[in-house]
Structure 1
């Protein structure tokens, strides 16, 4: 039990870093929340096609774990955010995640250049299925692959 507690307990250095974070109130639909800005800053959109979005970014230190690898939570957040991007429509209500399944295949280190491909798998009524694949651009190695189911209640056509 003590070993588990030590693994999840923040070190003094980590606590100091968190205490220095500057978090501003979020204005929905006007700017990014702290959460979105923290994880999505630095992502470049390389290509947008119907049902497909390809992005790239260098792994920043803020998204790594204690071993210097891209954190599994950061990967989960990327699957969540970029899985939703392929069904996003301006002016329509926010999409809600229903399920996510992620296979963590390999690791990525700080400054590794990653390519993230998000693709719409299909739609049944208000439920959408997407897939998100993170790959190391230099080696082509898959870092993670996620499947994401979302609910989006689009407005009536009446």
Structure 2
């Protein structure tokens, strides 16, 4: 228990950095939210067509761990976001992620250029969509991760 408490304790330096973060309320249609600016900044869409999306992303320092590897949570976030975008590009309304399965196959290092492709595997009625997302090192071609992403709902935004 002491090890867990120690791991979760915020040090003086981390506390100082956190107090400088500016988190403003976000309204749809305005500038990017804190989340978008932090997690998705730098994501570039290269190709988009119904059911398919291709992006590139250079691994920034803010999404790496102490060893300079892209954090697994950041990779999972990209699978979620890019998978959802492919579903949206297929003409479906926003849905809620209900299942994400990711195979982490290699490390992405700081400043690596990633190629992220996503395609819709299919729809079951207007409620269920499945997508496949592949993250690959753009220079070496090495597969970093591959994920399957399930989304559910027939949601229409009222914003």
Contact 1:92–1:154 (CA under 8 A) maintained in structure 2? no
| Paired position in structure 2 for 1:48 | 48
| Paired position in structure 1 for 2:65 | 65
1:87 aligns with 2:87: yes
| Paired position in structure 2 for 1:23 | 23
Contact 1:132–1:146 (CA under 8 A) maintained in structure 2? yes
What does residue range 110-121 of structure 1 map to in structure 2 within 5 Å?
A: 110-121=110-121
In the alignment, structure 1 segments of 5+ residues that lack a partner are: none
Distance in 1, matches of 2:9 and 2:67, equals: 15
Q: Secondary structure at the match of 1:139?
A: coil
Cα offset, 1:93, TM superposition: 4.7
Distance in 2, matches of 1:40 and 1:129, equals: 22
Cα offset, 1:38, TM superposition: 1.1
Cα offset, 1:30, TM superposition: 3.7
Q: Between Structure 1 and Structure 2, how many residues are aligned?
A: 155
Q: TM-score, normalised by structure 2?
A: 0.86
Q: TM-score, normalised by structure 1?
A: 0.87
Distance in 1, matches of 2:8 and 2:147, equals: 25
RMSD: 2.2
In the alignment, structure 2 segments of 5+ residues that lack a partner are: none
Residue 141 to residue 64, structure 1, CA distance change in 2 (3 Å): same
